Structure 1
Amino acid sequence: MRETVLQVLAFLQSTFRDLERLVPAPVIANNGRCLHTSYVEKSVQQAGVIKLARYISGLNAIDYLLLKGFIQEQGVLARTLDEIFEDTIFLSTAVRTRKWTNNHDRMLKYFWDPEANQDCMVKRRQVRAYITRSWENPNPSQADEAGRALHQRYSMYVHAAAETAMDLCIGVPPTFDLNGTTSTLMVQDYAKEGFNLYYRGLLAANAVAILIDSETLRASTYDYIKMFERQFATALFVPGGEPGHLREGA
């Protein structure tokens, strides 16, 4: 399985470099306190590139954590990636369908300057509801609930809920493993659970290609996704079937 993960990561990183070159580059600026890199234009396309960068970086971190047996930390990162993925699809879908809303304006305002736009944060349920209804899901309420349940599951790792945190306690007598679990089977279980995150990374890359309007990269990511789905159909679960933004001609 890790060989597949490394192949996906290599493809995502190569695709990202191509996408990165298609938006105006960041510049080094002085914000009055220090020098930092910044996008001057602050476009939705640049926002997509930043989101995808964080997603791919997070996937690399998850791969490293699992190699060291840090299964709880994978769960924490999974919630981060879940929200980044939803944000990316939220923005890309609006551009693709030309159904831009006030919530999209608010998300970008908060994204580029959260301190000045505290009142612009878009609620997670609003992001999820927009996505499920834009994809013409036959049962959007069920899809909303599935997304909420997944978010809640990941949140247990963030807050160290007993149900998940007790996976750290192994052996006879049971004791907490603080330096990465030594249970190979447990790491394998968590790796399987996280496999969908790599699939979502491919979907996110496709979404950013749509956002940037690169037909070449949209086609290449679409082809990779379809190959991945054929090869790992039994390991993947996509609520409501194939996401609407991937359908031929969509």
Structure 2
Amino acid sequence: MPHLQTEAVIVMTNTLRWVESSIAPPERVPHKDSFVFRYANKGIREALVQKLARYISGLNAVSVLLSAGYVQEVGVIFRTLDEIQEDIFFLACAETNGAWSERHTQYLEAFYADAVFSRPEGALQISKPNLLPRKKIRAHTMNAIGQGVNVSQALDVAESLSTAYSGYVHAASENIMEMYGGNPPHFHVEGVPETPHIETFEQDTEIYIYRGVMVACVVAKAFGNKSLVEALYEFLAQYEVANGHGPSRGR
């Protein structure tokens, strides 16, 4: 991972450490003969901390997988990061824009649904949480923070972006066949370090890192830390200059 990208992940991680320390930590909850960690308060800020942690973990996993040629698995993570970013923007707008709604209530209830405690001992089936549809998450966010944006058009773009890596998630044939080749031709199940797809995925990784810094900005703003937000915007501006991105929005 290039130096500035590595620095960006460190900046995100430092942001995580601050927001993590600004709320009550998870508590030990007895479970069987041991325990699990859970947040006592199941609110938006606790959800934002968890989502940011997962985004950063995903970026670190991408670096490891690409070094070994596992582009299929990286595609799955990219799709995951797309949804985490949408979730963070959706949750944060309730804090930053006063846009709390019943959709947030439904989202949080599903997010904190806990099969560890809700499934009866010995039961094989797990009740599914009442998930908020992805389209409603996007629509709410666009209406809350998309000033001057054609919401319908923006939703179409978001839908198109979310399908870019869906083939890797659902193991579509065209994506699986990227693993096939060599002499003699066969499926490479231990990574394909020489595949030309590596370069494309490395370029996309840079975009996801850039978006990760933006996500960290949004989380810091939701926590009301103005100095941290300004520091993140300053770093984001440096990152944009170095990588040719357009100027950031949302100050």
- TM-score computed with the length of structure 2 as normaliser: 0.87
The 2-side partners of 1:62 and 1:226 are apart by 24
Alignment of 1:127-138 (within 5 A): 127-134=137-144, 135-138=146-149
Give the equivalent residue in structure 2 for 1:195: 206
> Residue 11 of structure 2 aligns to which amino acid in structure 1?
F
CA contact (8 A) 2:96 2:221 kept: yes
Judge conservation of contact 2:4–2:239 (CA < 8 Å) in 1: no
For structure 1, the 5+ residue unaligned runs are none
Kindly report the root-mean-square deviation, in angstroms, between the aligned alpha carbons of the 2 structures: 2.1
* CA positional deviation for 1:193: 2.1
Amino acid at match of 1:43: G
Which secondary structure state, in structure 2, belongs to the residue aligned with residue 136 of structure 1?
Answer: coil
Q: Corresponding residue for 1:39?
A: 39
Q: Does 1:162 align with 2:173?
A: yes
Please, which runs of 5 or more residues in structure 2 have no aligned partner?
119-126
Contact 2:237-2:248 at 8 Å conserved across structures: no
Equivalent residue for 2:27?
27
Look up the SS of the partner of 2:29 in the other structure. Answer: strand
Q: Which residue of 2 aligns with 1:68?
A: 68
Do the aligned residues in 1 keep the contact of 2:113 with 2:129 (CA within 8 Å)? no
**1:125 counterpart = 2:135:** yes
C-alpha distance in 2 between matches for 1:118 and 1:221:
38
| Residues 1:232 and 2:243 aligned together | yes
Counterpart of 2:151?
140
Deviations 1:113-168 (A, max 9, x none): 25579463110011111222222252222221111112112211011112222221
Counterpart CA distance in 1 for 2:97 and 2:157 is: 24
State the SS of the aligned residue for 1:194: helix
What SS does the corresponding residue of 2:66 show, helix, strand or coil?
helix
Report if aligned partners of 2:90, 2:140 keep a CA contact under 8 Å in 1: yes
Residue 157 (structure 2) pairs with residue 150 (structure 1): no
Report the counterpart of residue 10 of structure 2 in structure 1. 10
| CA deviation string 1:76-113 (max 9, x = no partner) | 01111111111111010121110111101111111112
**Other-structure match for 2:122:** none
CA distance 1:33–1:79, shift in 2 (3 Å)? farther
Structure 1 counterpart of 2:193: 182
Alignment check: 8 A CA contact 2:16 2:53 kept: yes
Instruction: Quote the residue 2:107 is aligned against.
Output: 107
Kindly state the Cα deviation for residue 31 of structure 1 after the two structures are TM-superposed. Answer: 4.3
Distance 1:9 1:242 in 2: 18
Change (3 A) 1:126 1:33: farther
Whole-angstrom CA distance in 1 between matches of 2:93 and 2:236: 18
Identity %: 31
Letter in 2 for 1:149: S
Paired AA for residue 130 in structure 2 = C
What CA distance in whole angstroms lies between the structure 1 residues aligned with 2:176 and 2:203? 18
In structure 1, how many angstroms separate the alpha carbons of the residues matched to 2:20 and 2:191?
Answer: 35
- Alignment length (residue pairs): 240
- What's the TM-score, normalizing by structure 1? 0.87
